[in-house]
C-alpha cells in the first residue's frame, strides 16, 4: 500500500519531480486516505476523485515533456469552502450558498495549481467563518482527530483536521481573527497567517468585502512541518492582478540579528500554566539555536487593537450580517454576532474614521517595536484548546472564549504575519506558541519557527480518534 500521505510536501514534490513517484500514485494514495479516515472527522465535505486524478495526470504529462511543474509538484492539497474553486460550491458553511457554484478559481487556488499541486478536497468551516469552532447546518460538525472532546479550531477547522490526519500535505486556510493560527494550535500542526497583500485573494462569486475584511483577512497555509509552510507560501504568494491589495515584496528580507522578545501575558492576558510553560520552553529552544531572547512585560497595544479589529470585522454592516444569519438560522453564527451587539449598535461613520486613524498609529508603534525585536513570541490563546462548542453554551462561556483569543484577534489589525508552532501535548490536548514579526517578514517567523520546531512537535500525521 502506498503511504506517501505520511511524507512531507517537500519530500513528495522531490519524489514526483525525480519520477520516483508519479503524481497519480500520490493522489490515489491521498484519496484512499481521505476515504478511510474522513468519516471519523468530517474534515472534507466535497471531493471529486476524477477531478483530482485528472490534475495529477496533467502534472505527470508535463514532467514527461521535461517541463518544470513548480515547487508543489504532485503535492495533494485541500481548499476551504469559503474560497472559489471552479465547479464547486463556495458555501462558506451556509445553506444559503449551497448552490453558489464558482465559475473561476480564487487566485490562491490558481497559484497552487500552477505550482503543481493537486487539489483533493474541500474542507469545512463554521457558518460565515465566524467562529473558532467548526460546525454548520449544511456540512455538519468537524471533529479534532487528536481529541474529539476539543474543537478542531475555526474557521479553518476542516483544513487543520485534514492535514493532521494525513488528508493532504497542505491545507489552504484564511485568517481574519485566528482562523489559520487557532486550528493549527488545536490540531497540533503549524499554521501561517501572512501579511496583508502577501497572498492574492478574490472571490468572483461574491460581493466585495467590507473594508475590515479587505484590511485584515488573508489566505495562508496549514501544514505539518515549517518546511512545508515555506514551500506553500512560495507557491501561494505569486502575483495576480485581481487583488488590488497584492504587494510584490520579496519572500526574504534583509538579514537581522536573531533577537526575540518573549511576552507571556500581553496587555494583562490571563494565561494558564500550560501555555506559560510552552512559551518558556519555546524561548529556551530559540536560545539553544543561537537566538537572544528577552522577556518583556508587555507589547505595544494589543488589547486595544483587538477591540478595534472587532469594530471593523463585526461592526461594519452589522445589521446586514445579523439579518443574513437570522435567515440562515445557524446557532453558532448567531451567537457570534449577538455577542457583539454593542459593537454593532455603536458602529457608524465616525467610529470607522476614528478606527482607521488609530490603526495608522498602532501600525507605526508596532513597526518601531520590531526595530528592537525582529521577532515576538507570545501566546496563540490564553488557554489550551477549548472544549468543542464551548462558545454556544452560555454568555459567560462566549465571553471566556473571546477573552482568551485576544492575541489572535489583535495581530491582524496591524496587518502583521503570525505563525502558530505546535510544540507538544498536555495529555491528549495540543499546545503551541505564536511567533509574530513585522509586515512582510514571514521569513523571520519561519526561521524562528524552525528553531522551535527542532525541539520537538506532536507526531503527525495521526489516525483520528476511533479509527482502527
Instruction: Indicate which residues carry an active-site annotation.
Output: 80, 155, 179
Length of the chain: 468
Of 447, 445, 425, 427, which Cα lies nearest the Cα of 436?
A: 445
Q: What torsion, rounded to 10 degrees, do the Cα atoms 150, 383, 416, 156 define?
A: 10
- Tell me the C-alpha distance between 91 and 114, whole Å: 24
- Tell me the C-alpha distance between 125 and 151, whole Å: 12
Residue 316, C-alpha cell as written in the block? 461594519
Residue 170 contacts residue 399 (beta carbons within 8 Å) = no
Of 198, 242, 186, 185, which Cα lies nearest the Cα of 412?
A: 198
**Alpha-carbon separation of residue 112 from 22, 108, 109, 234, 300 (angstroms):** 18, 6, 5, 9, 36
User: Residue 432 pairs with which residues in a beta bridge?
Assistant: 422
- Tell me the C-alpha distance between 306 and 269, whole Å: 12
Residue 342, C-alpha cell as written in the block? 454593542
Neighbours of 131 (CB within 10 A): 29
**Alpha-carbon separation of residue 439 from 301, 313, 363 (angstroms):** 16, 20, 9
Residue 260, C-alpha cell as written in the block? 526575540
Dmax over Cα atoms in the chain, in whole Å? 62
- Tell me the C-alpha distance between 391 and 333, whole Å: 10
Residue 193, C-alpha cell as written in the block? 497567517
Question: 246: phi > 0 → left, psi -120 to 50 → alpha, else beta; which?
Answer: beta
- Tell me the C-alpha distance between 121 and 169, whole Å: 12
Amino acid at each position: 500500500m502506498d503511504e506517501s500521505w505520511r511524507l512531507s510536501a517537500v519530500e513528495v514534490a522531490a519524489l514526483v519531480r525525480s519520477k520516483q513517484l508519479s503524481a497519480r500514485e500520490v493522489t490515489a494514495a491521498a484519496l484512499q486516505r481521505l476515504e478511510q479516515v474522513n468519516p471519523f472527522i468530517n474534515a472534507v465535505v466535497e471531493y471529486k476523485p476524477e477531478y483530482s486524478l485528472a490534475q495529477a495526470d496533467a502534472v505527470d504529462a508535463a514532467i514527461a515533456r521535461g517541463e518544470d511543474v513548480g515547487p508543489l509538484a504532485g503535492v495533494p492539497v485541500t481548499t476551504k469552502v469559503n474560497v472559489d474553486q471552479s465547479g464547486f460550491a463556495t458555501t462558506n458553511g451556509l445553506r444559503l450558498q449551497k448552490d453558489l457554484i464558482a465559475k473561476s478559481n480564487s487566485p490562491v487556488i490558481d497559484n497552487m495549481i500552477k505550482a503543481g499541486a493537486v487539489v483533493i478536497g474541500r474542507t469545512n468551516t463554521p457558518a460565515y467563518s465566524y467562529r473558532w469552532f467548526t460546525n454548520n447546518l449544511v456540512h455538519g460538525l468537524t471533529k479534532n482527530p487528536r481529541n474529539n472532546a476539543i474543537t478542531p479550531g475555526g474557521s479553518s477547522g476542516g483544513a487543520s483536521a485534514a492535514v493532521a490526519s494525513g488528508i493532504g500535505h497542505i491545507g489552504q486556510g484564511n485568517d481574519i481573527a485566528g482562523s489559520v493560527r487557532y486550528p493549527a494550535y488545536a490540531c497540533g500542526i503549524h499554521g501561517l497567517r501572512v501579511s496583508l497583500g502577501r497572498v492574492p485573494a478574490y472571490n468572483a462569486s461574491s460581493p466585495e468585502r467590507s473594508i475590515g475584511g479587505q484590511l485584515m483577512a488573508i489566505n495562508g497555509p496549514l501544514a505539518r512541518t515549517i518546511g512545508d509552510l515555506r514551500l506553500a507560501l512560495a507557491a501561494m504568494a505569486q502575483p495576480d492582478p485581481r487583488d488590488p491589495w497584492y504587494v510584490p515584496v520579496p519572500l526574504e528580507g534583509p538579514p537581522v540579528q536573531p533577537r526575540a522578545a518573549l511576552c507571556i501575558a500581553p496587555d494583562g492576558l490571563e494565561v494558564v500554566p500550560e501555555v506559560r510553560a510552552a512559551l518558556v520552553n519555546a524561548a529556551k529552544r530559540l536560545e539553544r539555536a543561537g537566538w537572544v531572547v528577552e522577556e518583556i512585560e508587555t507589547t505595544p497595544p494589543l488589547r486595544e487593537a483587538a477591540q478595534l479589529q472587532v469594530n471593523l470585522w463585526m461592526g461594519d454592516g452589522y445589521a446586514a450580517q445579523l439579518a443574513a444569519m437570522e435567515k440562515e438560522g445557524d446557532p453558532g453564527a448567531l451567537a457570534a454576532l449577538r455577542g457583539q451587539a454593542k459593537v454593532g449598535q455603536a458602529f457608524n461613520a465616525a467610529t470607522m474614521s476614528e478606527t482607521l486613524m488609530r490603526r495608522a498609529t498602532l501600525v507605526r508603534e508596532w513597526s518601531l517595536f520590531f526595530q528592537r525585536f525582529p521577532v515576538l513570541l507570545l501566546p496563540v490563546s490564553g488557554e489550551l484548546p477549548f472544549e468543542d462548542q464551548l462558545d454556544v453554551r452560555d454568555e459567560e462561556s462566549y465571553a471566556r472564549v473571546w477573552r482568551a483569543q485576544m492575541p489572535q484577534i489583535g495581530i491582524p489589525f496591524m496587518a502583521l504575519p503570525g505563525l502558530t508552532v505546535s510544540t507538544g501535548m498536555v495529555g491528549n490536548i495540543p499546545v503551541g506558541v505564536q511567533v509574530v514579526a513585522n509586515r512582510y517578514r514571514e521569513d523571520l517567523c519561519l526561521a524562528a519557527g524552525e528553531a522551535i520546531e527542532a525541539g520537538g512537535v506532536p507526531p503527525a500525521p495521526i489516525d483520528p480518534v476511533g479509527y482502527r
